[in-house]
């Protein structure tokens, strides 16, 4: 066989390879692309468009008006719901990191024999229906609930603590319960990924345990913190079942306003506008995290 025909054959093989490769890529891309286009992106676009439509009770007419947005920003209860949402979500996020970080640290550094057992017990409740777990908290937090009964029988309080249920406190407690595993596990994975050699090196060079934590472990766990922020803070902004069941009117969040616009107040235009505001906030937060942390850190 001549050299020329060999290269020709090689070229043909390479061409055929490239063709099938592209065909494979196309077949892989298209089904999920089209599905998400139809059942994720198109609905989002429709929500955006309808947020500008003229909207009344159970009516929605094509138009271009900012009325729905104006109505949202000028109605005090809606604005208060937005303030509540940020207060509750931010407060819970800070509390989650403060509560969860030591647990992640313990799991990653100090508990080789208990590590997987504790992780299992952290993950198991996630498998239990969330509404059921919110309801379980009502048993614990109610006026004659277990916590009040216990505190009263110990003589620590004379009357039931009213702020335990139907309050912002209750919402924060249930959110801590719901999201703790999602905060602990990414931080745990980040800390687990730190090579023991790095820590030994720091120790050898004279760092005490605090400065090892402050200058080595904490900076290296930042990707875990970002991951838990994306996993937890954003969904908390869209929460509505928790405030509806344990929060009461004083703890109503944006989610409750949106839900009632769609399912009881019948004003879909205002609901869409609030939904779109929440969507914009979500994408902005994700963009900030990607900008600060870098895509590679999160993937």
Partner 1 sequence: MERLRTGRFWLGFYTLAVMAFLIYLPIVLLITFSFNDSTIMSLPWSGFTLKWYEKILERPDLLESLLNSLWVALIVTAVSLVLGVLAANAMARYRYRGRILFTGYVSIPFVMPWLILGISLLLFFNWVGIQLSMFTVILSHISFTTPLVAVLVAARLHQFEPDLDSAARDLGCNALDAFRLVTFPIIAPAVIAAGILAFNWSFDAFVVTHFVIGSEVTFPIWVWSALRYPRNLPIINAVSSIIIVVEMGLIFLAEWLRRRGGGERLL
Structure tokens at 275: 């939904």
Q: Among 81, 230, 251, 270, which residue interacts with partner 1 (rule: CB under 8 A)? A: 230
- Per-residue binder mask for partner 1 (CB under 8 A), 127-166, x = binder: xxxxxxx-xxxxxx-x-xxx--x-----------------
Rounded to whole angstroms, the Cα distance separating 137 from 140 reads 5
Closest C-alpha to 232, from 89, 67, 61, 27: 89
Please say which residue, 58 or 205, places its beta carbon nearer to partner 1. 58
CB of 270 to partner 1, least distance (A): 11
64 in contact with partner 1 (CB under 8 A): no
Return the range that interacts with partner 1 (CB under 8 A); candidates 75-83, 105-113, 196-204, 212-220. 105-113
- The residue count for binding partner 1 (CB under 8 A) is 87
Return the range that interacts with partner 1 (CB under 8 A); candidates 68-76, 175-183, 195-203, 218-226. 175-183
270 in contact with partner 1 (CB under 8 A): no
Please say which residue, 2 or 296, places its beta carbon nearer to partner 1. 296
HSE at residue 24, side-chain half, CA atoms within 13 A, is: 6
Per residue in 215-253, is it b (16+ CB within 10 Å) or e — as a string?
ebbeebbebbbbbbbbebbbebbbbbbbbbbbbeeebbb
Contact 164, 170 (CB under 8 A): yes
**Beta bridge pairs of residue 55:** 60
Site for partner 1 in 191-210 (CB under 8 A): 209
Contact 173, 141 (CB under 8 A): yes
Please say which residue, 168 or 170, places its beta carbon nearer to partner 1. 170
Rounded to whole angstroms, the Cα distance separating 100 from 9 reads 61
CB of 198 to partner 1, least distance (A): 18
**Beta bridge pairs of residue 61:** 54
CB of 268 to partner 1, least distance (A): 7
Please say which residue, 2 or 291, places its beta carbon nearer to partner 1. 291
């Amino acid at each position: 066989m001549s050299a020329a025909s060999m290269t020709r054959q090689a070229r043909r093989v390479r061409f055929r390879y490239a063709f099938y490769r592209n065909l494979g890529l196309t077949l892989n891309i298209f089904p999920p692309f089209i599905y998400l286009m139809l059942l994720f992106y198109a609905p989002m676009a429709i929500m955006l468009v309808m947020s500008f439509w003229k909207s009344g009770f159970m009516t929605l007419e094509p138009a271009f008006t900012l009325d729905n947005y104006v109505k949202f920003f000028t109605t005090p209860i809606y604005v208060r719901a937005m303030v509540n949402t940020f207060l509750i979500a931010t407060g819970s996020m800070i509390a989650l990191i403060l509560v969860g970080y030591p647990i992640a640290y313990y799991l990653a550094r100090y508990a080789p024999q208990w590590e997987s057992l504790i992780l299992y017990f952290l993950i198991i409740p996630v498998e239990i229906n969330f509404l059921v777990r919110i309801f379980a908290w009502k048993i614990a937090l109610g006026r004659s609930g277990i916590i009040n009964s216990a505190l009263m029988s110990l003589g620590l309080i004379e009357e039931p603590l009213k702020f335990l249920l139907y309050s912002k406190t209750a919402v924060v407690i249930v959110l801590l319960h719901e999201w703790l595993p999602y905060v602990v596990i990414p931080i745990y994975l980040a800390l687990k990924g730190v090579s023991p050699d790095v820590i030994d090196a720091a120790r050898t060079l004279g760092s005490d345990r605090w400065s090892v934590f402050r200058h080595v472990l904490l900076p290296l766990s930042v990707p875990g913190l970002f991951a838990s922020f994306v996993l937890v803070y954003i969904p908390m902004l869209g929460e509505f079942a928790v405030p509806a069941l344990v929060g009461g009117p004083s703890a109503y969040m944006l989610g409750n306003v949106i839900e009632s616009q769609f399912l009881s107040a019948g004003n879909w235009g205002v609901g869409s506008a609030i939904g779109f505001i929440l969507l914009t906030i979500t994408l902005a937060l994700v963009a900030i995290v990607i900008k600060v942390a870098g895509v590679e850190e999160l993937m």
